[in-house]
Chains A and B, each alone.
Chain A
């Protein structure tokens, strides 16, 4: 009788083990299919989200600029989309909306709000905007002790995103230097042109000089790199101070908005706008010449934290690089000096990439969708990456 009970007990245990093993083994047999299905599901949701982001202009249609130079309020955005409402073509994005994705002193749209408007609960995503190709560059600036001559040596390496070199790319470096004429200020440019070799490399140097009482202050180099007339812009400088610590540059419609950053080194010191130029590769237009003193063109802690001025037709100037020269305090000894800033695009800065919610390190399955887009007349790659929360 006892032996029989043991037999039944043993049978129950063995069957239990077999059942549990089957529960784990059978799904693992279809794991590849399940993984594939999940990937496809992510891809489909990503495609749908990307379509909304690129083709929908959102509501209100001008949500990126609807608050003008006032503080942006994201709760007024009822539908999300980056398409340019003034352009019927596909894949053309509104710069005013794209600027709201970046950290913006006039207010930006939060990741949580975009996620809610896109209906992506249960998922997370990131949006990356980058140039069509990589331009790794290096600039060395050597100033003479009297500050009347500067030798600028540069090299650039043009490659695709996978590192494959791009030969015969046309590289046009534009050296921009601020001159303290004492009295007066000036921003001057020197342009050159070269081609990349079979390894995608090129280099060159330029000597700039001033005479009389003039002194060369800040120097930056804008690289315009063109492959088959598809162009990208990157900027190089030898800044001892983060340009963002001097001022933040934004454009809302036709209005240039400059704001004083808070809680950065020297944030309490005044800055004077000495010059604003609109640079369009072949031409540069002087928009404003400041005096370098007085309150009219001044950014200061307190009531002058924001400066704005409208320039007719600025919005329709595509592509337009703003070169803004400030008279500002240096962090080191030497008193006030001139500093050049490039705006309004973060894409033109040293990093050359704009990210909206970075991808978490070590995330699991994700879908990635890339599309070429046009922002302010220039081609970029927009990448959406989607993964489960």
Chain B
């Protein structure tokens, strides 16, 4: 009788050990999966974000060009108007910096045309850059390359 009880106790202990083993094995599997998720590559949003900002930038410059405002601002040096037009036309959370070059890549002298401080452009991971060319004003052919940098605030 005593022998039988001992054997029963041993089996009971074995059963408990199996439960503990199963719990430990499950914990190992779950922690391994969790650990792997830490290293899982998150899909990058930067290219998507940059692409969207490029579309927004091109859209705004194109619309201003369509309304014949862009060439007037650029060739008549209406820099304040150009900055204001971009300020009201771009979405409210988008900062911009505009530079203008001639066809040889030489910068055209103009005051700073920017909304947002420099730090925004330096620290942002997704800076979009849109190049837009205006060929000339009225009958004169004198192309200008506008480079509009955009970041989301």
Which residues of A are in contact with B by a Cβ distance under 8 Å?
1, 3-4, 7-8, 10-11, 14-15, 18-19, 22, 25-26, 29-30, 33, 36-37, 40, 43, 47, 89-92, 132-133, 160-162, 164, 166, 168, 227-230, 369-374, 377, 379
Contact = CB atoms under 8 A, between A and B. Distances in A.
Contacts of A160: 87-88, 92
A372 B59 contact: yes
Interface stretch (B60-68, B96-104, B121-129, B135-143): B60-68
B122 to A, nearest CB: 23
B63 A166 contact: no
Nearest to B42: A33
A365 B45 CA distance: 17
Specify the main secondary structure of chain B where it touches its partner.
helix
Contacts of B45: 36, 40
Contacts of B19: 7, 10-11, 14
Contacts of B69: 228-230
A132 B89 contact: yes
A3 B12 contact: yes
A4 B19 CA distance: 12
B26 interface: yes
Interface in B45-83: 45, 48, 52, 55-56, 59-60, 62-64, 66-67, 69, 72-73, 78, 80-83
Contacts of A168: 84
A381 to B, nearest CB: 8
B102 to A, nearest CB: 23
Instruction: Kindly state the interface size class of chain B when it binds its partner.
Output: 35 or more
B43 interface: yes
Given A160-B87, A228-B81, A372-B60, 12 more contacts: A3-B12, A11-B22, A43-B48, A47-B55, A91-B63, A91-B66, A92-B66, A133-B88, A166-B88, A168-B84, A228-B82, A230-B67
A30 B37 contact: yes
A15 B15 CA distance: 13
A228 B40 CA distance: 48
A4 to B, nearest CB: 5
B85 interface: yes
Interface of B: 8, 11-12, 15-16, 18-19, 22-23, 26, 29-30, 33-34, 37, 40, 42-43, 45, 48, 52, 55-56, 59-60, 62-64, 66-67, 69, 72-73, 78, 80-85, 87-89, 91-93
A284 to B, nearest CB: 22
Which 9 pairs, one residue from A and one from B, show the smallest C-beta to C-beta distance? A7-B15, A228-B85, A162-B92, A228-B84, A228-B81, A18-B26, A372-B63, A11-B19, A227-B88
Contact of A229 (B8, B40, B59, B85): B85
Given A29-B34, A370-B56, A90 B62 contact: yes
B64 to A, nearest CB: 8
Contact of A8 (B15, B33, B62, B89): B15
A130 B78 CA distance: 27
A4 B11 contact: yes
Given A40-B45, A230-B89, A91 B62 contact: yes
B26 A22 contact: yes
B84 A227 contact: yes
